[in-house]
Amino acid sequence: MSSHSPPNDLVLFHYVFSPYARRIVWYLQLRRIPYAQCLVPSYMPRAPLAELNVSYRRIPVLAHGREIYCDTRLILSTLDKLFPPSEKYPGLEPQTAEAKALTKLLIRYTGDAGIFARGASLIPTNMPVLKDEKWVKDREQFSGRKLTIEAREKGRPESLVHMRDLFVLMEHTLLADGRQWVLGDNPSVTDIEAVWVLHWMTTMRGALGTYITEKEFPKTFAYVKRFDTETKKARGEMEKPVTLKDDQTVEAILRMSLDAAVKEEVDSSDPTGLRKGEEIEMWPIDSGFSHKDEGELVGLSADEMIIRKQAKGKELRIHYPRWGFRIARAGDKAHL
Ligand SMILES: N[C@@H](CCC(=O)N[C@@H](CS)C(=O)NCC(=O)O)C(=O)O
């Protein structure tokens, strides 16, 4: 294997302090799935993604060969399909119907119901990143809101109260009986959905102030530490990710194949009425919405939309989930 051949054809675009990206890094570690990574800046522009003609601006993004997957929920479900549980790659999927439902609802709660956004508003105002004008401008464009220090300070009490709700949920329900992991004896993807915001908040000095403490939430703080130890142990037991430079990343991805297992099917009963081969635009609804990917619609189901694009004369396919995203005919102003 040359150093430019990503293990398992996987390249993860991320930056190390992205809480969303950690969800994927932990998943790959806990399952011992080797991968390559391309470390990108924490704000735009991101040259290798631009060269690949990917407009989506959020992190992480996962390339599997020339298939580009956006959004952690779609990335996780795709990895589940690509790597069914085996001795080599132990499974993390919840098994019972209740556990599957809990897992889905946890990400709706932490992601869509705003716990992550509350966390972002709790980044202490003395953090260097909030003094970096480029970063602040970038995030204002990303969220569509002004990010002044005064507004952040003013919003802090409300955000702390909302954040506390997550700690109460963990301490007094999911971990109340003293269990090690949400589903019992072993870590699962349900723990990733439960822990990611907790981990981010408890490891960021000053984020929680004196309102949310280890003294009041001992089981929850111990759980986060246990998860951290477990993922570090897993990391030590697997191949280190291969880190590719920007040009190596673009070259490696364009040299790999499209995945023959990806079906180009457009559901004819889809309520949008869109048809295969139409030129469409797709974009996220909640943040990063000014970056739209345009291309030929080749796949549409209740869970996923797929377009075909060209990058440097090569075809690639970009995959978005349906949840939290919008799709429309290119140039159709009616949806704006
Ligand atoms: N729903 C998305 C959210 C991803 C997200 O918001 N990521 C943050 C980083 S943690 C981001 O992209 N921030 C703006 C940026 O890095 O450009 C997912 O599940 O992947």
pLDDT digits (tens, 9 = 90+) for 189-201: 999 999 999 999 9
- Residue 285 pLDDT exceeds 90: yes
**What DSSP string runs through 69-137?**
EESHHHHHHHHHHHS---SSS------SHHHHHHHHHHHIIIIITSHHHHHHHTS-TTSGGGG-HHHHH
Nearest atom of ligand 1 to the alpha carbon of 59: 12
**pLDDT computed for residue 1 by the predictor:** 44
Spatial distance between the Cα atoms of 281 and 264, rounded to a whole number of angstroms: 17
| For the chain, percent of residues with pLDDT exceeding 90 | 91
DSSP letter for 257, please. P
pLDDT digits (tens, 9 = 90+) for 213-247: 999 999 999 999 999 999 999 999 999 999 999 99
From atom 20 of ligand 1, which residue's Cα is the shortest distance away? 71
Cα 44 to middle of ligand 1, angstroms: 12
From atom 1 of ligand 1, which residue's Cα is the shortest distance away? 71
pLDDT digits (tens, 9 = 90+) for 140-189: 999 988 888 898 999 999 999 999 999 999 999 999 999 999 998 899 99
pLDDT band at 334 (very low <50, low <70, confident <90, very high): low
DSSP letter for 89, please. S
pLDDT digits (tens, 9 = 90+) for 307-329: 999 999 999 999 999 999 999 99
How many other CB atoms are found less than 10 A from the CB of residue 204? 16
Nearest atom of ligand 1 to the alpha carbon of 107: 19
Residue 110 near residue 197 (C-beta atoms within 8 A): yes
**What DSSP string runs through 6-17?**
-GGGEEEEE-TT
Block residue for tokens 């959004």: 71
**pLDDT computed for residue 145 by the predictor:** 87
Tokens of 272: 């949008």
What average pLDDT does range 133-143 have in this prediction? 92
- Residue 41 pLDDT exceeds 80: yes
pLDDT band at 336 (very low <50, low <70, confident <90, very high): low
Q: Which residues line ligand 1 (CB under 6 A)?
A: 18-20, 42, 57-59, 71-73, 111, 142, 287
What average pLDDT does range 106-119 have in this prediction? 97
- Residue 120 pLDDT exceeds 50: yes
- Residue 290 pLDDT exceeds 90: yes
Tokens of 265: 């099917």
Helix (H, G, I), strand (E, B) or coil at 47: helix
How many other CB atoms are found less than 10 A from the CB of residue 334? 6
What average pLDDT does range 257-281 have in this prediction? 98
Helix (H, G, I), strand (E, B) or coil at 49: helix
Phi, psi angle pair for 58, to nearest 5°: -95, 165
From atom 2 of ligand 1, which residue's Cα is the shortest distance away? 71
Amino acid found at 278: E
Cα 59 to middle of ligand 1, angstroms: 5
Average pLDDT, the chain: 96
Q: Give the chain's domains with CATH numbers.
A: 7-87+240-335 (3.40.30.110), 97-235 (1.20.1050.10)
Amino acid found at 119: G
| For the chain, percent of residues with pLDDT exceeding 70 | 98
